[in-house]
Chain A
Amino acid sequence: NAGVMQNPRHLVRRRGQEARLRCSPMKGHSHVYWYRQLPEEGLKFMVYLQKENIIDESGMPKERFSAEFPKEGPSILRIQQVVRGDSAAYFCASSPPSRPGANVLTFGAGSRLTVL
């Protein structure tokens, strides 16, 4: 029973390139969340998705960042034209179909993006 799978674990990009981070939720989980942890800072919520729907993207930067969770395949967090400030660990989490109080998330190991 695999947990939340994220890849790549480490990604190096030069300024101006695109970064694509992938997340496969736990089996049976239909809700996906992305969090970002900047160096020496806490975890910050970015976006909450269900299949083919963005439910809450209040934590996403307004430009260059996008997320999707298609009907088939993993969730993708896409960062266009990366800048050095995007260097961070990006964590994906998943949860089963929601119910009130359902904040029991299973996190992946994270994808560490370094922008040169």
Chain B
Amino acid sequence: QVQLVESGGGVVQPGMSLRLSCAASGFTFSSYAMHWVRQAPGKGLEWVAVISYDGSNKYYADSVKGRFAISRDTSKNTLYLQMNSLRAEDTAVYYCASVPTTAAPDWGQGTLVTVSS
């Protein structure tokens, strides 16, 4: 079955960087666009970024544009989110997700990022 396992979260100071990973299995990773979605404590779900199936197209929420970079390594079936210039408001649980248009989405369990001095 589909498995998405995020890792790389932790506590970082404002202005620092962090890279999240999402290991995918149980489906043809190279055929699907992949997303990062986050949820700040006590808040709703916020889409962060998407990368096309082949990595050729990437789009970002305005709140992270210019600071975050999404990428994928098909040889490792892994999705990444490079987060630079982190701010307190980036504190959230980060989920990776596959959200096909006409099929059931799949989500990971999430990894917590805390930005605090």
Q: Are A and B bound to each other?
A: no
